[in-house]
Amino acid sequence: MWAWLAIHAALAAAGTWLARAYALRSRLIDQPGERRSHSVATPRGGGIAIVIALLVATVSLGLKFPAYASLALAFGLGLAAIAAIGWVDDHRPLSPWLRLAVHILAAALLAAAVWHARGDPWLALAAFVFAVGLTNVWNFMDGINGLAASQAALVALALAGFGGPVWSWLALALLAACAGFLPFNFPRARIFMGDVGSGAIGYAVAGLGALAATAQAEPARALVLLIPLAAFMVDSSLTLLRRVRRGERWWTPHTQHAYQVWARRVGHVRVTLAYAIFTLLSLASLHLVTEVRIGFMLCMGAGWYISAAFLWWLIQRTERSAP
């Protein structure tokens, strides 16, 4: 296991270093602005290194376990498609609807493979919904140093415990790749993940969740994996709903997420660490629900989401009341 982790961490670290050199040479630079949370011009596109490391792991597992090759192929093709459209968008802005169309196609490919593997249309539908949703959630939440990569690493740790003898290795590859990228992005960002990384990582998390469900005798038990997603799901969804209610152009960049509001007051490092602590505590709670009835699992999950919603409200309220 340690060799597997070291290989993919090294691939991501080397790839991030090369991506930074390419971004500086090609002038792929994010400038500070009122719709951004950083104050220093920073190159972008480093997330491609995480994608490449994860694709290497996917191909390796598909070759080692031929019985799972079709699932691995669907996952890898979807991941590559979302990374590709993100890479293009990092170079020249694309229509958000074109990006969404690619996200939908990649999610449909994953869902079709899951349906073929398990013959369960509800599981396939869940895979489709979460693939589209988390692809965009991670894009929304990639706005301060280290947040998107650290949360992906922690969720991957949870996924590694549910993926069975095959997909746990893919989850560990995602964990290692994020670890290889993080020194370039946290606590000081020398490169940003970019759309090539954020969307692809969201898809990877959803895809790994779907693959983990196919490895379960009772796929519904994979719902427990929603618990470590609480921080990201609540911040992204409540902020989006508030923008829609206000009649704002919700698909445009902004700095209204709770993590962005809080980072303006206390800085990127403290916010990223606070989100990590919240998710780590949720990971610890998973040990209480893995061997109990689904009803108890759902109640505990609701508790985490209610807690995250309260914290979101508190942060937003503090911002409104600030002088």
Which residue numbers belong to the known binding site? 139, 195
Among 321, 275, 288, 248, CA closest to 154: 275
Which residues fall in the annotated binding site for Mg(2+)? 139, 195
Inter-helix orientation angle 164-181/147-160, to 10°: 160
Distance of CA 295 to the CA centre of its chain: 27
Token pair listed for 52: 């490449």
* Spatial distance between the Cα atoms of 189 and 107, rounded to a whole number of angstroms: 31
Q: What is the largest CA-CA distance in the chain?
A: 61
How large is the angle between the packed helices 194-214 and 69-91, nearest 10 degrees? 160
CA–centroid distance for 129 within its chain: 14
- d(C-alpha 43, C-alpha 28), whole Å: 6
Phi, psi of 11 (to 5 degrees): -60, -45
Residue 255: strand, helix, or coil: coil
Residue that has been written with the tokens 């090609």 in this structure: 26
Cα 89 from Cα 92, distance rounded (Å): 5
